[in-house]
Structure 1
Amino acid sequence: MKKILLVILVVAVALLGACSSNIAQSKSVSEKAVKKIIVGTGTQFPNICFIDEDGKLTGYDVELVRAIDEKLEEYEFEFKTMDFTNLLLSLETNKIDLVAHQMEVNEERQEKFLFNKVPYNVFPLQIVVNENNNDIKSLDDLAGKKIVTTATSNAAIFIEKYNKEHNLGAEIVYSTTDINNQLRTGRVDATISTPFAADFNNKYADAQQKVVGESLLNSNVFFLLQKDSTTLSDRIDEALIELKEEGVVSALSEEWLGADYSVEF
């Protein structure tokens, strides 16, 4: 009887050990299967990617990436913040895997990088001036004026091209940190931005801005990836389609941008 009990005990211990080993092995495999994706974004784009009053990185692009992260179990998304002008270089040198910063398509970016296929919102560009400026109402009114913008942005590319092709004689100033102050103090006459950024700046930074004229450009925006990241790009598109169908993308746009900019052109 004692021998039988001893055999049963040995078998039970062996089974328990094997079970524990299988669980550990399964856990190890599961952990290895999760791939970390470094997401490059900024901290100074109102309502898009910024640090809130509690010191938290948030905004439309940030929260959308977090929603995508919840959909894709095989990936873990981790943010890395930097100046906008460093994002493309960081992607090109493999320091990040993905850019989330309202990236619009242009030829230079298409040559070097991969855009996902499903746009996640529309980016409207308009002229923004000081609220007391009644002289500038259209692009032609920018002739001979100082225009501040962020280097390499689509706003910069647009105004550089228009300035050259239409002989505006405008002076383009590049900045990322004190655009609000430059407009408020009259050191520059205008910038090219979005209505939701102007609203945010007025609410939280007393920017004293207003949007004038018609929309200059409405572009679909995408995430930007390395050329060979087709699998990740496809999975992001699948997640975006689901999030759009569930109303999550529209809700985030309403929350952060003040309107539903998720409808693509």
Structure 2
Amino acid sequence: MVVAVSMPVYGASKDENSSSDVIKVRVAGTADYEPYTYVDEDDNITGYDIEVIKAIDELAPEIECEYSYTQWDTLLPGLDADKFDVVSNQLGETDERKEMYLYPKYPFLFAGSAVISTADDPMDSFEDLKGKKVDAIVGSSFTTQMEQYLDENPDAFTLEYLDGTLPQMLDEIVNGRVDATVNDPSAAYSKAQVAGIEDRLHISDDIYNGGFSYFLFAKTDKGQQIADIFDKYLPELYYNGTLSELAKKYLGSDSGVTSMAENGFFTEDTLEDFQANEK
């Protein structure tokens, strides 16, 4: 399968005298999942997820990253087709993905989902969705969450599958084609602001299915090498405050970073303590 990348590849040039053993890492995200992965006004890919990788790249002499973007539905096939080495788009852990792709040891954010509906008919819980038509993006981890809920609560609501994007889904909600969805609250609010529809939407404060966000790698020897390098440097970004700074800048809060310790990762007080316990 050929994956069409929308724009030129962007790379961070390192010292020309760098070792020839430096691993070239092809990074891909999507262009429209702000504030996590998106394209800015200068046509550069950025966002919290991408900037974390750039920070790892700055620390790690073993790698040199180049960045491109593509559509959501070609992101994982790009790993399959050896178009990319690592992909990022707030990817959670699922059994199906674990069979096909390589997860690193450490996540870079703890995030959750919220019910998104209209301001005229606000809904705050899965129970509020009873009898409603609920939008679900094909292949999304949020869709998996809703499908799992329906496995336990048959006929609670009807899923309407959308082979599209989050902005399209929000448009369907405000225009009455569906009643609600379940998705990332930060991303939804950011997209609603861009579209000028934030006042027409209700985004619940209740967070469901909190989970870790990971970068995904191809299940190859090269993929394992890169994952090991990411795992080597990501803890340093946590302990030196870089992850918190990036979260505050792009997400408006670092609660998703500090919550990682509350949920079992980076529980030591210092990097030195963490490294000592890892040995």
TM-score for the superposition, normalised by structure 2 = 0.79
Which amino acid in the other structure matches residue 153 of structure 2? H
How far residue 79 of structure 1 moved from its aligned partner, in angstroms, is: 1.5
The correspondence for 1:240, drawn from 234, 238, 256, is 234
1:198 and 2:198 correspond: no
How far residue 213 of structure 1 moved from its aligned partner, in angstroms, is: 6.0
- Residue 222 of structure 1 corresponds to 214
1:149·1:176 contact (CA, 8 Å) conserved in 2?
A: no
Q: Counterparts of 1:140-151 in structure 2 under 5 Å? A: 140-151=127-138
- Residue 141 of structure 2 corresponds to 154
Deviations 1:210-234 (CA, angstroms, capped at 9, x unpaired): 2226322100111111223222111
Counterpart-to-counterpart distance in 2, 1:101 and 1:79: 13
Counterpart-to-counterpart distance in 2, 1:202 and 1:56: 21
Counterpart-to-counterpart distance in 2, 1:73 and 1:233: 14
Q: Secondary structure of the residue that 2:82 maps to in structure 1? A: coil
The correspondence for 2:70, drawn from 82, 89, 101, is 82
Counterpart-to-counterpart distance in 2, 1:164 and 1:100: 28
Deviations 1:51-95 (CA, angstroms, capped at 9, x unpaired): 223433211011111111111122111122111121111112211
Deviations 1:24-45 (CA, angstroms, capped at 9, x unpaired): xxx9984522221111211111
2:28·2:69 contact (CA, 8 Å) conserved in 1?
A: yes
Summarize the Cα distance change of 1:213–1:69 in structure 2 as closer, same or farther, 3 Å threshold: closer
Mean Cα deviation higher: 33-42 or 118-127: 33-42
TM-score for the superposition, normalised by structure 1 = 0.83
Deviations 1:176-230 (CA, angstroms, capped at 9, x unpaired): 3312211221111111112212331233221232222632210011111122322
1:107 and 2:107 correspond: no
Runs of 4+ off more than 3 Å: 27-31
Which amino acid in the other structure matches residue 160 of structure 1? E
Counterpart-to-counterpart distance in 2, 1:182 and 1:172: 11
1:142·1:170 contact (CA, 8 Å) conserved in 2?
A: no
- Residue 13 of structure 1 corresponds to none
1:148·1:175 contact (CA, 8 Å) conserved in 2?
A: no
Counterpart-to-counterpart distance in 2, 1:118 and 1:169: 35
Q: Can you give the 5+ residue segments of structure 1 that lack an aligned partner in the other structure? A: 1-26
1:183·1:189 contact (CA, 8 Å) conserved in 2?
A: yes
- Residue 4 of structure 2 corresponds to none
The two structures, once aligned, show a CA RMSD in angstroms of 1.9
Structure with the larger helix share: 1
1:147·1:191 contact (CA, 8 Å) conserved in 2?
A: yes
Q: Counterparts of 1:171-190 in structure 2 under 5 Å? A: 171-177=159-165, 178-190=168-180
Which amino acid in the other structure matches residue 143 of structure 2? A
1:72·1:235 contact (CA, 8 Å) conserved in 2?
A: yes
Q: Counterparts of 1:1-265 in structure 2 under 5 Å? A: 30=18, 32-134=20-122, 136-167=123-154, 168-177=156-165, 178-208=168-198, 209-212=201-204, 214-227=206-219, 228=221, 229-260=223-254, 261-262=256-257, 263-264=259-260, 265=263
Which amino acid in the other structure matches residue 144 of structure 2? I
Counterpart-to-counterpart distance in 2, 1:53 and 1:38: 22
Which amino acid in the other structure matches residue 101 of structure 1? N
Query: Which structure has the larger Rg over C-alpha atoms?
Result: 1
How far residue 172 of structure 1 moved from its aligned partner, in angstroms, is: 2.3
How far residue 247 of structure 1 moved from its aligned partner, in angstroms, is: 0.3
1:35·1:75 contact (CA, 8 Å) conserved in 2?
A: yes
Q: Can you give the 5+ residue segments of structure 2 that lack an aligned partner in the other structure? A: 1-14, 264-279
Mean Cα deviation higher: 52-61 or 118-127: 52-61
Deviations 1:120-145 (CA, angstroms, capped at 9, x unpaired): 001211101122223x3321221232
